[in-house]
């Protein structure tokens, strides 16, 4: 099926890049689709699938004006609603991975009447500062080795051409995202050819992370989200602790957790049969068989 693409201009002039495939009545929006779209286009049968690159990410505009980035993920929430209105969509279905797994819930809190179903993939926890017990996170040798090697790499940043440095950084980052080192080469998220991704760490540290750390959700706020939420989390996730996935499924009023044993931050890549089919089932209107209600952390 033909894919269309283009840019949508926000109120402050920033353009967000999108790709769109399918023409069905149910619309699924995939956040930061430049990393996910190819893997989730299979959902287009009978649906419309929109891939959206968030502000200053992917093929959206590279922003040098700090005033347009200062709100971090809170700006992403309003940008998403501008995109919804652009396409004339009444109710969205959402897929968010990693920190975008937090954004989809924040969107559902602010714009609850416009959300149908939500999938979180390896989401950032509700409280970014929370420390979980050792059995609910994966601070293993690979985790510690990554930070040691990045520290060494930083020492040569000034002498490296930016694209070359970006590629070296991603060569260290890929193994962090998978439990099985053999799967590391399946991670194709670096996009060092894009100015947004070439400058990602600066944006993440100055805007995204501080805005995540300012999030403090009350039970009443989380209780606003009545939409069904399927949280999918690998037990070996080093980047977003498995305990965070359990906590989302515990706190959200209509959520279930699909636990994927022995995988890390990219469960659909490491264990596609356990992830892709259940997501299809969920968007068809049913809970996957293995998705469980969470009663305790």
**Nearest one of 41, 48, 45, 53 to 87, comparing CA atoms:** 48
* Whether domain 3-137+208-283 has CATH 3.40.50.1820: yes
Cα 175 to the center of its chain, rounded Å: 18
Q: What is the pLDDT of residues 176-190, one digit of tens each?
A: 999 999 999 999 999
Question: ∠ at Cα 98 (254, 283), nearest 5°?
Answer: 45
User: Dihedrals φ, ψ of 47, to 5°?
Assistant: -135, 175
Domain definitions of the chain by residue range:
3-137+208-283
Is pLDDT above 90 for 3? no
Nearest Cα neighbor of 206 from 69, 58, 77, 99 is 69
Residue 148: the pLDDT is 94
Other CB atoms within a 10 A radius of the CB of residue 262 amount to 12
Confidence of residue 101 (pLDDT cuts 50, 70, 90): very high
Whether the pLDDT of residue 1 is over 90: the answer is no
pLDDT recorded at residue 2: 86
pLDDT tens column, 260-278: 999 999 999 999 999 999 9
Identify the residue whose tokens are 């992370």: 209
Q: Is the pLDDT of residue 88 over 90?
A: yes
């Amino acid at each position: 099926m033909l894919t269309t693409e283009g840019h949508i201009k926000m109120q402050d002039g920033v353009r967000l890049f999108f790709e769109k495939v399918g023409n069905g009545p149910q619309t699924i929006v995939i956040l930061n689709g430049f990393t996910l779209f190819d893997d989730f286009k299979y959902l287009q049968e009978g649906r419309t699938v929109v891939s959206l690159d968030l502000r200053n990410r992917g093929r959206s505009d590279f922003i040098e004006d700090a005033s347009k980035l200062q709100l971090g993920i809170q700006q992403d929430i309003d940008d998403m609603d501008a995109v919804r209105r652009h396409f004339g969509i009444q109710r969205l279905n959402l897929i968010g991975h990693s920190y975008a797994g937090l954004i989809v819930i924040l969107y559902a809190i602010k714009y609850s009447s416009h959300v149908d179903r939500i999938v979180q993939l390896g989401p950032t926890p509700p409280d970014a500062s929370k420390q979980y017990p050792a059995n609910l996170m994966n601070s293993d040798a690979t985790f510690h080795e990554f930070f040691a090697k990045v520290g060494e790499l930083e020492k040569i940043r000034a002498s490296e051409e930016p694209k070359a440095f970006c590629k070296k950084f991603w060569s260290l980052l890929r193994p962090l995202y998978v439990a099985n080192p053999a799967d590391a080469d399946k991670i194709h998220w670096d996009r060092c050819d894009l100015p947004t991704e070439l400058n990602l760490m600066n944006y993440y540290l100055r805007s995204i992370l501080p805005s995540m750390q300012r999030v403090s959700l009350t039970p009443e706020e989380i209780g606003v989200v009545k939409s069904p939420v399927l949280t999918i989390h690998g037990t070996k996730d080093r980047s977003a602790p498995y305990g965070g996935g359990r906590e989302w499924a515990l706190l959200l009023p209509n959520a279930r957790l699909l636990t994927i044993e022995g995988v890390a931050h990219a469960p659909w890549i490491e264990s596609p049969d356990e992830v892709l089919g259940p997501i299809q089932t969920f968007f068809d209107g049913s809970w996957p068989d293995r998705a469980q209600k969470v009663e305790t952390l």
